[in-house]
Amino acid sequence: MNPFLGEVIGTALLILLGNGVVANVVLKDTKGQDSGWIVIAWGWAMAVFVAVFTVAAFSGAHLNPAVSVGLAVAGKFEWARVPAYVVAQFLGAFIGSFLVWLLYRPHFAATEDQDHKLAVFCTGPAIRDTAANLISEALGTFVLVFAVLFLAVSVFGLGALDALPVGLLVLAVGLSLGGTTGYAINPARDLGPRIMHALLPIPGGKRDSDWGYAWIPVVGPIVGAVLAGLLYLALQDPGNVNFR
């Protein structure tokens, strides 16, 4: 399997299982309805675990443009390869969110709350505050990428045994930092499914896709990833980074 296809499949698995657990919790008449935040956080952690161990040997299992950028800033990934990885990650996000829509169509139809339907696809803030929401996404992604940098010893450094630590890392971010914005911490994870929400016919109707907020889960994670990469470089060799 080539790295591009690995990123497509891995990100599709990530979104299928991650957004799938959100659908199971927030949509009406599912077996998991109203099971709560802890179930969502664990579901996303296991989604990361499954996706990473499935494709790590083929692509390094970035599955996230912020991770690709952070690795490139830290010198662990070639900048020339970042665009292809990002395209693959968005394709995977489109596929994964489409499959969640297909699987849960009867439950979308049974759900009256259109905010809940949107939440199956993308994140939104608990309290809408632009600066605070941006900081939340940047800080959550900073923690994710900074920790991943110490796991990824090479471009293809993440293996199956490293998948569980990455899943637990995402669990920690979700439980501790995710209550403010829903911890997108991944531009493809949020924007790709948000686009699918806008395009797909949602049974029972839908609201707008909250485009006014959509830039925050894109810009925040990229800022956090760049800062994580710079700090990693500074810790490895302070002479490599000039903050002036």
Mean pLDDT of 222-238: 92
Structure tokens at 201: 């016919």
- Taking residue 1's Cβ as centre, other Cβ atoms within 10 Å add up to 12
pLDDT band at 243 (very low <50, low <70, confident <90, very high): very low
User: 157 pLDDT exceeds 60?
Assistant: no
b/e burial code for range 14-29 (CB count within 10 A of at least 16 → b): bbbbbbbbbbbbbbbe
Which residues lie below 8 Å from residue 80, measured CB to CB, with a gap of 6+?
Answer: none
Range with lowest mean pLDDT among 157-161, 201-205, 229-233:
157-161
Q: Is 238 exposed, middle or buried (0-12, 13-18, 19+ CB in 10 A)?
A: exposed
User: 69 pLDDT exceeds 50?
Assistant: yes
Closest CA to 104 of 120, 91, 93, 123: 120
pLDDT digit string, tens, across residues 12-52: 999 999 999 999 999 999 999 999 999 999 999 999 999 99
User: 154 pLDDT exceeds 50?
Assistant: no
- Output 157 or 192, whichever has higher pLDDT: 192
DSSP code, position 240 = G
pLDDT on residue 236: 84
Domains in the chain, please, with CATH? 3-240 (1.20.1080.10)
Distance CA 148, CA 153 (A): 9
Mean pLDDT of 95-113: 97
User: 108 pLDDT exceeds 70?
Assistant: yes
- pTM for the whole structure: 0.93
Packing angle of the helix pair 65-73, 187-199 (nearest 10 deg):
150
Mean pLDDT of 78-99: 98
DSSP code, position 78 = -
Mean pLDDT of 73-80: 94
Maximum alpha-carbon separation in the chain: 59
pLDDT on residue 85: 98
Cβ–Cβ < 8 Å for 225, 141: yes
pLDDT digit string, tens, across residues 179-207: 999 999 999 999 999 999 999 999 999 99
pLDDT band at 99 (very low <50, low <70, confident <90, very high): very high
Calculate what percentage of the chain has a pLDDT beyond 90.
87
- Output 62 or 237, whichever has higher pLDDT: 62
pLDDT on residue 155: 39
